[in-house]
Amino acid sequence: MKTFDTVQGLKAHLEIERKAGKKIGFVPTMGALHNGHLSLIKKAKQECDVSVCSIFVNPTQFDDKSDLEKYPRTLEADSKLLKTESNDVIFAPTVKEVYPQGMSKGLDLKFGYLANCLEGASRPGHFDGMAQVVSRLLDIVEPDALYMGQKDYQQFAIVQSMIAQQRRPIDLVRCAIIREEDGLAMSSRNRRIPAEDRLRAPMIYRVLEGIKRNRMGLTVPELRYWGLSSLEMTGFKPIYVEIVNAKTLAPVSHLEDPDGVVALVATWLGEVRLIDNMIIS
Ligand code: AMP
């Protein structure tokens, strides 16, 4: 496994691989890797000749400075994990390397409602920053395929729109959510959950399952109310429980829709902000 911290070094290496006809699969991450990330690497390894994992905590997508400061940085442990998956290349650049001309220049792309709803409503600027870094990383890595998780459902939809708007010849692959045994979606933030809160954390999954099964035959507004109150009663501070069209992310009034329906949750558990989702139909 090779590790690069400069754009020039990485590009030179990938150019050789590309010239040899190798297919390049790319997994962008912010590090603090867990089995969720590793499942993306596994898929990239299965489908491509060379897997590239970037590890970069991108300042432009953090609306909250203390969240950025508290974000775990564990490059050594991450490298060990990536080795166990026989990952080929790590790209772990500095902020200067990614943004040599400064961080202020955004992208001239329009995401409309896709970026303003859900996470966009409570984290202003988050998706502009995310799209900015993914676009920059795609310019650097120039992969054939890009692997991203359903865990960040809205992020995936925005990257899909970005790739279409920029007409990039890239296969975007959505990878399933990997969960702990009790249902909690794996996340780098989970390591910040104190032990007493960790016991309640699977409630997010239970709420999503409850919405999907809808055993009581509730309406969509009733399901949302039930979800919010279940979380509140368990000690969460929910930010939203939404049931939306799987493509447009617009609220739906029924659990059936030709485009598909997805339920999404964002919530505080103590000081940790958690998100999760489930495809309902
Ligand atoms: P992050 O490091 O949080 O930016 O995540 C990097 C990539 O890993 C994103 O495409 C995420 O959607 C994906 N990811 C994060 N957690 C999971 C998970 N539990 N299961 C599958 N993919 C995940």
**Separation in Å, CA 276 to CA 27, 88, 177:** 20, 30, 9
Q: Which of 149, 175, 201 is the last residue of a domain?
A: 175
23 CA → ligand 1 middle, Å: 22
Pocket flag, ligand 1, residue 134 (CB < 6 Å): no
Residues 148 and 243 both lie in one domain: no
Atom of ligand 1 nearest to the CA of 37: 8
Most informative mutation of 29, 37, 132, 134 for ligand 1 (most atoms within 8 A of CB): 37
The answer to whether residues 99 and 136 touch, using CB atoms and an 8 Å cutoff, is yes
Alpha-carbon 66 to chain mean position = 20
Q: Which of 114, 148, 175 is the last residue of a domain?
A: 175
Kindly report the protein residue whose alpha carbon is nearest to atom 6 of ligand 1.
Answer: 29
Please state the pTM of the whole predicted model: 0.97
Pocket flag, ligand 1, residue 149 (CB < 6 Å): yes
- On whether residue 34 sits in a domain, the answer given is yes
- On whether residue 201 sits in a domain, the answer given is yes
Q: How far apart are CA 8 and CA 148, in angstroms?
A: 25
User: How many CA atoms does the CB half-sphere of 46 hold within 13 Å?
Assistant: 9
Residues 100 and 146 both lie in one domain: yes
Residues 171 and 229 both lie in one domain: no
Q: Report pLDDT for 107.
A: 86
Alpha-carbon 25 to chain mean position = 17
14 CA → ligand 1 middle, Å: 24
Q: Which of 60, 58, 52 is nearest to 23 (CA)?
A: 52
Over the chain (281 residues), the average pLDDT of each successive run of 10 is 98 98 98 98 98 98 91 96 98 98 87 97 94 98 98 98 98 98 97 97 98 96 98 98 98 96 98 97 94
Q: Which of 147, 175, 203 is the last residue of a domain?
A: 175
- On whether residue 182 sits in a domain, the answer given is no
For residue 196, the enclosing domain spans 188-279
- On whether residue 183 sits in a domain, the answer given is no
Q: CA dihedral defined by 18, 82, 162, 250, rounded to 10 degrees?
A: 150
215 CA → ligand 1 middle, Å: 30
19 CA → ligand 1 middle, Å: 30
Give the CATH number, domain containing residue 149.
3.40.50.620
Q: How far apart are CA 133 and CA 24, in angstroms?
A: 19
Active site residue 37: yes
Residues 42 and 169 both lie in one domain: yes
Pocket flag, ligand 1, residue 30 (CB < 6 Å): yes
Residues 272 and 143 both lie in one domain: no
* Number of structural domains the chain divides into: 2
Residues 81 and 133 both lie in one domain: yes
- On whether residue 236 sits in a domain, the answer given is yes
Residues 130 and 159 both lie in one domain: yes
Q: Report pLDDT for 106.
A: 75
